[in-house]
Copies of this chain bind each other. A is one copy, B any other.
Amino acid sequence: MGNYRIAVLPGDGIGKEVTKGAVEVLKAIETRFGHHFEFAYGWIGGAAVDQKGTPLPEETLALCRESDAVLLGAVGGPKWDQHPPHLRPERGLLQIRKEMNLFANLRPVKFYDSLTDSSPLKQEVIQGVDLVIVRELTGGLYFGKPSGRMVENGEEKAVDTLLYKKEEIKRIVKVAFELARKRKKKVTSVDKANVLSSSRMWREIAEEVAQEFPDVTLEHMLVDNAAMQLIRSPQQFDVVVTENMFGDILSDEASMLTGSLGMLPSASLSASGPSLYEPIHGSAPDIAGQNKANPIAAILSAAMMLRLSFGLSKEAEAVEKAVQQVLAAGLRTADIAQKGQRVVSTDEMVNEIKTAI
């Protein structure tokens, strides 16, 4: 019988529809298990630029800090693409990560039997895939200084900086090992140690941390090879840990494996306060407002919240089971539907999942 405050940041595009669905599912959990969830809404992204003149208003940040967890939809859209960098929706996302210290981004990729037809990969390649990408989220190329443009001796240049402190690497690698310990006990640390200094430090620290986890196997893999292996034999992976930019690329690549981009949740864990949960898909402006979006990624993100932020494992499982049940029954939103299958709207999908709970 817990009391939990959840900050909901719908953001842009289908972010609004899918968070609405996730909130409804959380309310079904509330009723069934007798908890009390308090939802408070905030602006972020393009919507925040329009309403408040900035992609991450102070009051949104304050709201999040006072909450027990944050549920985010998605940000971005063509409407704001021509804005200067500080008024772009993505800036809001980067800022909230940095401000709330959301250093560990967990992206599970799981094979769904019912969805093999949606994958571009052959069934025998993806059968049984069950991996988590642990992406460092508040360091590296995304935040290093200097980052900007300059003119030197009449030459225009641009620079970005890949910077890591030892402690930043240590804490993310630890998260990966702790996770692996509860899973298949294997960590693949991805770097580019044959070229980058930061990667050589990364590799050393990974070795150091591994000493504390003698029950977990550590393997190093170069990022270019990892990009190949993810397609060639994804079953070899359990927990993959890597720096921010590599993680951005590899996790999007991995999301394609199971053909279920619209179903993949993520958690961004904080070093110091509430964590944030969001679907890994974007704001999909092309289908926004049409009641077509797949709400499952947002709903499974809510399930991660239940488990990781509130410690409510039974409740998380109830959500996950409901999702599986509905899929097994053949319900599909357009993105995961194959010929001959019944296509349902966002609302219908949400309702069926609620009913299953």
Chain B contacts of A161 at CB under 8 A? 159-162
How many residues on chain A are close to B (CB under 8 Å)? 59
Q: Write the chain B residue with the least CB distance to A81.
A: B194
Chain B contacts of A119 at CB under 8 A? 122
Cβ of A141 under 8 Å from chain B:
yes
Cβ of A327 under 8 Å from chain B:
no
Stretch of A19-27, A245-253, A308-316 that contacts chain B: A245-253
User: Which residues of A, 174-230, contact B by the 8 Å Cβ criterion?
Assistant: 192, 194-198, 200-202, 223-225, 227-228, 230
Chain B contacts of A249 at CB under 8 A? 223-224, 227, 246, 249
Q: 7 shortest A-B CB distances, which residue pairs?
A: A158-B201, A224-B252, A227-B253, A156-B166, A158-B198, A160-B162, A120-B125
Cβ of A148 under 8 Å from chain B:
yes
Known: A157-B166, A158-B164. A228 touches B253 (CB 8 A): yes
Cβ of A149 under 8 Å from chain B:
yes
Cβ of A142 under 8 Å from chain B:
yes
Whole-angstrom CA separation of A122 from B231 in the bound complex: 12
Closest Cβ–Cβ distance, residue A154 to chain B (whole Å): 10
Whole-angstrom CA separation of A177 from B308 in the bound complex: 49
Whole-angstrom CA separation of A198 from B160 in the bound complex: 6
Q: Let me know if B156 and A192 touch, CB within 8 A.
A: no
Q: Let me know if B155 and A166 touch, CB within 8 A.
A: yes
Known: A166-B155, A166-B156. A227 touches B252 (CB 8 A): yes
5 cross-chain CB contacts under 8 A: A121-B121, A157-B166, A231-B231, A249-B249, A253-B253
Cβ of A255 under 8 Å from chain B:
yes
Task: Using A160-B196, A223-B248, A225-B252 as known contacts, list a sample of 19 further A-B pairs with CB atoms less than 8 Å apart, ordered by residue number in A.
Answer: A121-B231, A141-B141, A141-B162, A141-B196, A142-B195, A149-B201, A156-B165, A157-B163, A157-B164, A157-B165, A157-B166, A158-B163, A158-B200, A159-B164, A159-B197, A160-B161, A161-B162, A162-B162, A232-B256
Interface set of A (CB-CB < 8 Å, partner B): 76, 85, 88, 90, 94, 119-122, 125, 141-142, 144, 147-149, 155-167, 192, 194-198, 200-202, 223-225, 227-228, 230-233, 245-246, 248-253, 255-257, 261
Closest Cβ–Cβ distance, residue A75 to chain B (whole Å): 10
Known: A224-B248, A225-B252, A232-B256. A90 touches B195 (CB 8 A): yes
Q: Write the chain B residue with the least CB distance to A282.
A: B225
Q: Let me know if A227 and B250 touch, CB within 8 A.
A: yes
Whole-angstrom CA separation of A156 from B148 in the bound complex: 24
Whole-angstrom CA separation of A250 from B257 in the bound complex: 16
Chain B contacts of A201 at CB under 8 A? 149, 156, 158
Chain B contacts of A122 at CB under 8 A? 119-122
Whole-angstrom CA separation of A192 from B121 in the bound complex: 26
Chain B contacts of A149 at CB under 8 A? 197, 201
Q: Quick one: which of B142, B200, B228 contacts A255, CB cutoff 8 A? A: B228
Chain B contacts of A158 at CB under 8 A? 163-164, 197-198, 200-202
Whole-angstrom CA separation of A167 from B147 in the bound complex: 19
Q: Let me know if A94 and B195 touch, CB within 8 A.
A: yes
Chain B contacts of A166 at CB under 8 A? 155-157
Q: Write the chain B residue with the least CB distance to A247.
A: B224
Chain B contacts of A231 at CB under 8 A? 120-121, 231, 253, 256-257
Q: Write the chain B residue with the least CB distance to A225.
A: B252
